[in-house]
Amino acid sequence: MILKTVDDLRAVARGWRAAGEKIGVVPTMGALHEGHLSLARRARQECDRVITTIFVNPKQFNNPDDLKKYPRTLEADAELLATVPVDAIFAPPVDEVYPDGFITTVTMQGVATPLEGHMRPGHFDGVATVVTKLFGMTMADRGYFGQKDWQQLQVVLRLVRDLNIPVTVVGCETIRESDGLAMSSRNVRLTAEGRQKAPVLYAAISRAAEDIRNGHADRMAIREAAETMREAGFERVEYIELRDAETLMPSDDPRRPRRMLAAAWLDGVRLIDNIPV
């Protein structure tokens, strides 16, 4: 069942709620791959009803070209979701989510400001706004998000706490190709040559994390990872940072859970990844 309007979605969700059924939502922007399907399967196991939302959210793109180029593949996505299966796909047009006169934005500081927040101004406000709306529209009990977007996951965890949104946020393991590349809808934009080089991102940060665990200096290990990536043909390493896993603030305290996060450009495609340290 593909639903396009909030009224139709609400009617379905209300019925499920009235029957005492637990609803899981998997928010996506489509161009689905195994990573998204793993979220939907997890939701399938834990909830009575599963809704996947497919909405390329203009408010979280600070680069109009990126928004234009973002792959839109609803038919293929619906076929993939039928294999899970999910109970409903919510794929609204832009003016259903942001009708004329829309003026509200959820603004976040703290965990939303460094790294992706710094490189992509306004991005997390766009994410927080649409996730708040999607949680409200779907009346979900549980929301499923990939750890691939680690900072986004921390932002959503903070959002539901701060706004008392009654949704349990579930963070799911990053799904990787056999060569280590984290699955992403953007990977299809890599050339064949770029696709061969792309796993160097994961390999380089894994090596740096291991070196740090073995007592090497953080900065040195990170510098080496950046050099490895540039030598492999990455055009630009935007950041490789070791951060507190929850606050995303700089952390040199190995007793706290830490995360290494990276963003880099290859073939004109921006790739991100992260791992525990």
Instruction: Choose which of 28, 38, 132, 138 interacts with ligand PAF (CB under 6 A).
Output: 28
Q: How far is the CB of 227 from ligand PAF (least distance, A)?
A: 30
Closer of 95 and 253 to ligand PAF (Cβ)? 95
| C-alpha–C-alpha distance, residues 103 and 111, integer Å | 24
Residue carrying structure tokens 């061969």: 196
Side by side, the strands of the sheet bearing 49-54 are 2-3, 88-90, 49-54, 23-28, 142-146, 168-172
Piece of 23-31, 40-48, 101-109, 161-169 that binds ligand PAF (CB under 6 A): 23-31
Residue 113 per-residue DSSP state: S
Tokens standing for residue 274: 């992260």
- Which CB, 13 or 159, lies closer to ligand PAF? 159
Q: Nearer to ligand PAF by C-beta: 142 or 221? A: 142
The catalytic residue among 33, 36, 118, 216 is 36
Residue in 38, 52, 57, 184 binding ligand PAF, rule: CB under 6 A: 57
Give the orientation angle of helix 123-138 with respect to helix 150-162, to 10 degrees. 60
Distance in Å, CB of 34 to ligand PAF, minimum:
15
26/212 with CB nearer ligand PAF = 26
- Which residues, in sequence order, are bridge partners of residue 169? 143
- Per-residue binder mask for ligand PAF (CB under 6 A), 147-186, x = binder: --x--x----------------------------------
DSSP structure class, residue 240: E
Q: Which is nearer to ligand PAF, 29 or 198 (CB)?
A: 29
Q: Which of 256, 235, 233, 232 is nearest to 246 (CA)?
A: 256
- Work out whether 27 is an interface residue with ligand PAF (CB under 6 A): yes
Say whether 91 sits in a helix, a strand or coil: coil
> C-beta of 20: minimal distance to ligand PAF in Å?
27
Subset of 218-277 contacting ligand PAF (CB under 6 A): none
Give the Cα separation of 80 and 28 in Å (integer): 13
Residues of this chain, 112-141, that bind ligand PAF according to CB under 6 A: 127, 130-131
Distance of alpha carbon 68 from alpha carbon 75, whole angstroms:
19
Q: Verify whether residue 216 is a known catalytic residue.
A: no
Residue 38: both structure tokens together: 């793993």
**CB 65: neighbour CB atoms within 10 A?**
9
Active site positions, annotated: 36
Q: Give residues in contact with ligand PAF (CB under 6 A).
A: 27-29, 57, 60, 127, 130-131, 149, 152
